[in-house]
Amino acid sequence: MPFPILAGKAIVDTGFNVDNSCRFNAADSPYFSKDPTGDGNQRTFTISVWLKMDIMASGASHFLFDTGTSTNRFGFYFSDPGTLQVRGKVSNTNVLVLSTTNIYRDPAAWFHVYLAIDTTQAVAANRAKLYINGTQVVDSLSTATYPDQNTDFENQDASEPFEIGIDNSHDSASYFDGYMAEYMYVDGAVQAIGDFGEFDEDSPTIWKPKDISAIDVNPGAAQASNGNGFYLDFKASGNLGNDVGNNAGTDFDENNIAATDQTTDTPTNNFCTMNPLDNYYQSATFSEGNTTLLTGSSNTSFNTSTIMPSTGKWYAECKVITGGATANIGVIGQMATATTGEIKAKEFGYAYVSNGEFGSNGSAGSYGDSYTDDDIIGIALDCTNNRLYFSKNGTFQDSGDPAAGSGGKTITAPASTTMGQYSFSCSDTSTSDTRTFSWNFGNPSYANSSDAADADGYGAFEYAPPSGYYALCTKNLAEYG
């Protein structure tokens, strides 16, 4: 099976780099919409999009595209617990249904979805083709219902808007949660899957993006003047609905999507986030593309990150939003799936505590300034020399100087920890309250006063990473990790 762009598994040179993605935070009710300029081709079209998804709530759906009415409709989406559904309804009858048995819900990976519709084909199975990461989904379909030849779908009816990230009834449980990149709709043609991606030469099981900017989204005479094709590259932070593929068309309207929802977490440079799968005891609520979490109150426990380095030097920031008076922020060398307890109480756990202490393995002592809500804690993790440094609002504590390698706290070598690597982590110190942490591994969900990158130009931090320390993303991991 072809693999997605996994956390820590990307290659250095992809041949083509995707610059930006758009982060959808379901709690904000985000979606894009636009009215088609006219009736386009209702029989033949192609949709391609790269995704990095959050974990769906029970009973929820993540809509990628939807249009039409309750009786004449076309859309595709993920349904709980993560199966992909393609649905086409005509005269209140589901004439097209593709439903996967595979579940797609890895919050650490980018993957590609390609859908080609051509109802003019004589062979029924050729009228709808679904690909995940460059390979057609055939054997893993639990339901495969194909439309009759020359069926017209309502996805190009000028009276019904195109909607991305929500279903056409605007059900609150259908908002997409996660990231989208390189979103293209080709009106009037089946664009080959090989035009959107390719298998990597050095890692042939990894499917990676290709430059699609030259693809004509409205091929053919009819579509040239009345086409509804589009290409969203999300490069304009002030206009994330900017359609760069259809010069004759209009842009998408942004609904509850802000400039801060533009990110550089993409299929060609996958950034670290917090990990909603390692959440058994903490029962935290994740949002903002897994960069923000609200801790649970039933247990004292910790959460971990999706990328866990074992070598190299790494920098991240954690902003305390609420509950800062009882917080631990740091790193840990074990998972949270089978144990309770705050970071400072755990073996291989190292925490800067909100009261100003440094804690590890059940003991704590005087370290630096106390911190509270709205403070930003910087973490400089040196896995090469087994040192750890913390800053408060840009000032490193306890006379630590990570760039010079002086001061800081000694930590166990990554190879000697339970996991053999370290995770960035946060936790509470009691069960009587909850805390909200917003992590910045280079793609903050909040606006910085100054976006500082690392020496290679990656990341957007409030404070400049120390010299020799890098944002935790796959480009940097491939070079320094």
The string of DSSP codes covering 394-418 is TEESTT-BTTTTBSSEE---GGGSS
| Tokens 């009345």 sit on residue | 226
Q: What is the pLDDT of residue 1?
A: 41
Containing H/E element for 322?
Answer: strand 313-322
**Separation of alpha carbons 424 and 431, rounded Å:** 21
Domain ranges of the chain: 21-263, 285-480
Residues 6+ apart with CB under 8 A from 481: 8, 309, 310, 311, 312
For 222, phi then psi, to 5°, come to -65, -40
Confidence of residue 3 (pLDDT cuts 50, 70, 90): very low
Helices and strands, number each (H, E), in the chain: 2, 32
Q: What is the pLDDT of residues 386-434, one digit of tens each?
A: 999 999 999 999 999 999 999 999 999 999 999 999 999 998 876 667 8
Average pLDDT over residues 273-287: 87
Average pLDDT over residues 38-55: 92
User: pTM for this one?
Assistant: 0.94
What are the angstrom distances between the C-alpha of 374 and each of 110, 135, 318, 461? 31, 46, 10, 15
> Is domain 21-263 in CATH 2.60.120.200, yes or no?
yes
Q: What is the pLDDT of residue 69?
A: 87
Helix, strand, coil percent content, the chain, rounded in steps of 5 = 10, 35, 55
Q: What is the per-residue DSSP string for 185-223?
A: EEETS---GGGTEEE-SSSTTBEEE---TT--SS-SHHH
The fold for domain 285-480 equals: Jelly Rolls (2.60.120)
In 3D, which of 50, 61, 44 has the Cα closest to residue 19? 50
50 DSSP β-pair partners: 112, 181
Q: What is the pLDDT of residues 298-355, one digit of tens each?
A: 667 889 999 999 999 999 999 999 887 788 999 999 887 656 788 998 999 999 999 9
| Tokens 């589901």 sit on residue | 94
Average pLDDT over residues 119-127: 98
